[in-house]
Amino acid sequence: MNDTLAIARDRILTPAGLGDRELDRLVGALQSPAIDAADIYFQSSRLQSWVLEDGIIKDGNFHIEQGAGLRAVAGEKTGFAYSDELQFPALQQAAGAARAIAGGGHAGRIRISGVPVGHRLYAPLDPIGTLDDADKVALLHRVDAEARRADPRVTQVVTSLVAVQDTVLVISDDGRMSADVRPLVRLNVNVVVEQDGRREQGHSGGGARRDLEFFLDGDRAMGYAREAVRLALVSLEAEAAPAGSMTVVLGAGWPGVLLHEAIGHGLEGDFNRKGTSAFAGRLGERVAAAGVTVVDDGTLPDRRGSLNIDDEGTPTQCTTLIEDGVLTGYMQDRLNARLMGMPTTGNGRRESYAHLPMPRMTNTYMLAGDRDPAEIIASVDKGLYAVNFGGGQVDITSGKFTFSASEAYLIENGRIGRPVKGATLIGNGPDVLTRVSMIGNDLKLDEGVGTCGKEGQSVPVGVGQPTLRVDGLTVGGTSAG
Amino acid sequence: MDNRNIDTAHPATDAATNPAEPLDRLRQKIQDLLAEARRRGASAAEAAVSTSTGLEVGVRLGEVETVEHTRDQGLWISVYFGHRKGSASTSDLSMGAIRDTVEKACAIAGHTQEDTCAGLAPASLMATGALPDLDLNHPWDIDVDEAMRLAIACEDAARGADPRIVNSEGASFSSHAGLQVYGNSHGFVGGYPSTRHGLSCAVIGKQDDAMQRDHWWTTARAPGDLDDPAAVGRRAAERTLSRLGARRLGTCEVPVLFRAEVAAGLLRHLTGAIHGASLYRKTSFLLDRLGEQILPAFVRVSEDPLKPRGLASAAFDSDGVATRPKDLVTDGVLSSYLLDHYSACKLGLQSTGNAGGARNLSVDLGDLDRDGMLRALGTGLYVTELMGQGVNNVTGDYSRGASGFWVENGEICHPVEEITIAGNLLDMYRGLVAIGNDCDFPGSTTTGSWLIDRMMVAGE
């Protein structure tokens, strides 16, 4: 699959006059006897977005960016410099700055060789060109009309469409050169509804590493419009949420944000190497109930969180984090894998060439169990059924995490009852999964909307899970009853 | 460490030693962008160009961990064909990229629709004439070794504070110098250099097998305004140590004291709700409240965009409109919205010079120090950290993860964690009992702690 490499060379290196001779010298300039690892990350990205509001296309934006990040690592020390100019002298200067971390030394010489990437999970296409601009605009108008048609209480609709093509080329210190061409599309719908002076909003949307036809398949985008309206209307009816510790049934799909916050971040290699994670040193220990298996899988075709190679050139993989309740693995980039004496797992990711890579999640989800979701709800006398969430946050050191429900219902005597207002749920990462008492047979992944932030860097991710019953989660409502 | 090598790749000195010349170069880029837009038939256009360079040094356990040389630049343009708008941006400042970017913006404008509010802010509102000197530019010609020494001094002070400090996330130093220029086809072009420096530290404490982490930081326009590195480290350690032994609470409804730095968040929810975009979209819990009492009469909230050395200071907003100090809340009454030109037009009002948001917010401080505020709290929750989202901007419904201290009769009893606090922002503002004078955190916002009469706390 060297076509991605050819595309990347053609797009990034050729216009800058960078041939193998120049690349050999740059990689050489990053090296010295004290340097353990080094790499150069070239990136070129194009983004186009459109916004429809008040029934008209108000604005659109086109963004173009390119640059290279150069890194030299000695032990636990990293020197890093980047440049948005790709001319050889600018890169040579950056290489010198990055290598200074390890003191002087003689520049080495390296022979560059392209290697095929491990997967082809998505086509190396430019999604921006997969629909005419006029058709993109027409699509947003249809979504807007669908939302307004869905209910007369809809007073405001904002829809947006974003298409990105990200081309990356990584050269590591052994001269290995790999590339990836990453399409990413996203469509969002926000609606406001109003009834008797009460206003609420609803959001929906989705995305994938696909062309824009993705949103036309089975009228997918129209589904987002109807879902946003449905969520807003449910909120109009919602009453105060309960406060206190109770049994919570989490719906399938996006509620998997629980896994991302409660255990995902805590299992990233850097926090465990440094001993700052509540999970540090706990490999082989039970951290979840029997039957709970959680993976981080960067190899799912077309998924928002998937990558053919990570941002260090390592092919992505499916890493089992928890197997039948026992902690089995961490997510690693090259630096932390080397320092911990563990294999890399293809989780070295970065927001852009201007940021350092670190261990990050891809698509993190729990495998299905064997319970019928209806049976899980029927098993609860009194509790909360939470099906949609906003975002979450975790303190990886204390293990405390939150995630905020945006659609939830009371469960009374095994039946789904009244909708309640959004409430934040809080728990303790290392023990929340030990309280999982039932696992549904309905594993679902999210719609392709997740973005994860860590140390100021944002990357697209996915989450998923089957319906779960968790005994004893704290629900942050306002109602004492 | 070969510093010479680093300094040559650190062109901050270029901008720092002679800011006028690079600033003129960026002004010329603006003229080139506007000329290209005109050539392509745009009836109006606005553009911004910025560059920034910096040094970031991270240390951990007494050793340097990362040395990052940052160098960012970007340009952005919006073109108007009558009332149709298109925008484009790039990190490439070359003449070729300028032509491509304007072409992309014009292509976008070929598909957007007539929007009567799309366009430049009125020429009469531009920050024309000599811009006030806000004293924002204090370059620091610091090398990697010195930056490392400061960060290590900070981390050492934290690690040495107490044997229960067992680990560290490290300390980091940063220094950035930037230039930004904005211009539009009214003929307004304004630009200025600015700097920002900082030092932060995070350490981990352990007691009874449970770990806690906390951090502290200092940030300023001028190197001399930064706090002493060792003081920053000690404060980080104190904060971590104070969390050790945290327990949960039973579910209860009690008064809640928000530490000053988290009270600043309550203020940001207010400014978010009076921002023009939230108002014209009707996604604000303070919709149509201008002139109404939203806080007790003792509360005054103001912004001072012209504050010398202010971290959020700017003489003009991102529409080119001159900024001015003003009250947002006077005697508890909402006295001004925060409007950019577009949202002002949608609301039939005039821009308040707030494209880009509020700048250097402050609340008039009360009489009580922290201990006085704890006594005023009596028995209840002192919140020192909030987690997660959980704020509904449309309704004001509020539900967030929290940690802090349980307080009885004005005395701190023990740290608490894994709880939530919930209420509604309208009720919380109305239920504000007192604001302290304990404003002790860095940043652009000035406030003391806030005591709220009653909130629902969920725990065990």
Note the pLDDT tens digit of each residue in A225-235.
999 999 999 99
Mean pLDDT of chain B: 94
Residue A218, SS3 per DSSP: helix
- Between CA A243 and CA B251 the distance in angstroms is 7
**B348 CA: distance to closest CA in chain A (Å):** 16
Q: Could you read off the pLDDT of A277-309 as tens digits, one per residue?
A: 999 999 999 999 999 999 999 999 999 999 999
For residue A215, pLDDT over 90 is answered with yes
For residue B327, pLDDT over 70 is answered with yes
For residue B418, pLDDT over 50 is answered with yes
- 8 Å CB contact of B167 and A201: no
In the numeric block, the tokens 């967030």 are attached to B400
Q: For residue A171, give the amino acid letter.
A: I
Put simply, the chain B residues between 194 and 223 with a CB less than 8 A from any chain A CB are 204, 210-213
Q: What is the DSSP letter of A368?
A: P
Q: Could you read off the pLDDT of A127-149 as tens digits, one per residue?
A: 999 999 999 999 999 999 999 99
Q: Where are the alpha helices (DSSP H) in A170-252?
A: 220-237
- Between CA A57 and CA A400 the distance in angstroms is 43
φ/ψ region of B209 (left if φ > 0, alpha if ψ in -120 to 50, else beta) reads: left
Question: What pLDDT, on the 0 to 100 scale, is given for residue A108?
Answer: 54
Question: What pLDDT, on the 0 to 100 scale, is given for residue B3?
Answer: 29
Domain spans of chain A? 4-237, 242-480
Q: Which of B14, B68, B340 to mutate to probe the A interface, most A CBs <10 Å?
A: B68
Question: Does A391 reach chain B within 8 Å, measured CB to CB?
Answer: yes
Taken in order B136, B141, B142, B143, is the CA torsion positive or negative?
Answer: positive
Q: What's the token pair of residue B71? A: 């160098």
**B129 CA: distance to closest CA in chain A (Å):** 31
- Between CA A430 and CA A281 the distance in angstroms is 12
- Between CA A412 and CA A377 the distance in angstroms is 9
φ/ψ region of B409 (left if φ > 0, alpha if ψ in -120 to 50, else beta) reads: left
Q: Could you read off the pLDDT of A61-87 as tens digits, one per residue?
A: 999 999 999 999 999 999 999 998 899
Using pLDDT thresholds of 50, 70 and 90, give the confidence band for residue B295: very high
Using pLDDT thresholds of 50, 70 and 90, give the confidence band for residue A175: confident
Mean pLDDT of chain A: 94
- CB-based contact A370:A350 (threshold 8 Å): no
Residue A69, SS3 per DSSP: strand
For residue B310, pLDDT over 80 is answered with yes
Domains of chain B: 15-240 (3.30.2290.10), 252-458 (no CATH)
Using pLDDT thresholds of 50, 70 and 90, give the confidence band for residue B6: very low
In the numeric block, the tokens 């690693």 are attached to A332
- Between CA A59 and CA A162 the distance in angstroms is 12
Q: What is the CATH number of domain A4-237?
A: 3.30.2290.10
Q: For residue A463, give the amino acid letter.
A: V
Put simply, the chain B residues between 346 and 385 with a CB less than 8 A from any chain A CB are none
Question: What pLDDT, on the 0 to 100 scale, is given for residue A391?
Answer: 86
Q: Shortest CA distance to B316 belongs to which of B190, B434, B435?
A: B190
For residue B5, pLDDT over 60 is answered with no
Report CA A161 to chain centroid distance, whole Å: 18
Which residue on chain B is closest to A194 by alpha carbon? B282
State the DSSP string of B70-81. Answer: EEEEEEEEEEEE
Could you tell me which residue, A107 or A272, shows the higher pLDDT?
A272
Judged by average pLDDT, the poorest of A83-92, A98-107, A355-364, B140-149 is: A98-107
Percent of chain A with pLDDT over 70: 96
Question: What pLDDT, on the 0 to 100 scale, is given for residue B410?
Answer: 98
Q: What's the token pair of residue A416? A: 């789904």
- 8 Å CB contact of B63 and A76: yes
Question: What pLDDT, on the 0 to 100 scale, is given for residue A112?
Answer: 67
Query: Which residues in B208-273 belong to E strands, given as ranges?
Result: 210-220, 252-258
Contacts of B422 in chain A (CB under 8 A): 241, 243, 423-424, 476-478
Q: Which of A64, A70, A471 to mutate to probe the B interface, most B CBs <10 Å?
A: A64
Question: What pLDDT, on the 0 to 100 scale, is given for residue A34?
Answer: 86
- Between CA B242 and CA A474 the distance in angstroms is 24
- CB-based contact A204:A167 (threshold 8 Å): no
Q: Could you read off the pLDDT of A376-410 as tens digits, one per residue?
A: 999 999 999 999 998 899 999 999 999 999 999 99
Question: What pLDDT, on the 0 to 100 scale, is given for residue A305?
Answer: 98
- The stretch B13-31 carries a mean pLDDT of 73
Specify burial of residue A79 (Cβ count, 10 A radius: 0-12, 13-18, 19+).
Answer: buried
- Between CA B304 and CA B318 the distance in angstroms is 16
- Between CA B226 and CA B219 the distance in angstroms is 6
Using pLDDT thresholds of 50, 70 and 90, give the confidence band for residue A116: low
**A320 phi and psi, to 5 degrees?**
-85, 120
For residue B8, pLDDT over 70 is answered with no
Using pLDDT thresholds of 50, 70 and 90, give the confidence band for residue B61: very high
Percent of chain B with pLDDT over 90: 94
Residue B88, SS3 per DSSP: strand
Question: What pLDDT, on the 0 to 100 scale, is given for residue A320?
Answer: 98
Give chain A's largest Cα–Cα span: 76
- The stretch A400-425 carries a mean pLDDT of 96
- CB-based contact B250:B429 (threshold 8 Å): no
- CB-based contact A348:A357 (threshold 8 Å): yes
- Between CA A92 and CA A272 the distance in angstroms is 34
For residue A35, pLDDT over 80 is answered with yes
For residue A105, pLDDT over 90 is answered with no
H/E element, B320: none
H/E element, A405: strand A400-412
Using pLDDT thresholds of 50, 70 and 90, give the confidence band for residue B16: very low
- Between CA B395 and CA B184 the distance in angstroms is 38
Question: What pLDDT, on the 0 to 100 scale, is given for residue A32?
Answer: 84
Question: Does B116 reach chain A within 8 Å, measured CB to CB?
Answer: no
- CB-based contact A112:A175 (threshold 8 Å): yes
- CB-based contact A399:A430 (threshold 8 Å): yes
Contacts of B6 in chain A (CB under 8 A): 96-97, 100
Question: What pLDDT, on the 0 to 100 scale, is given for residue A422?
Answer: 85
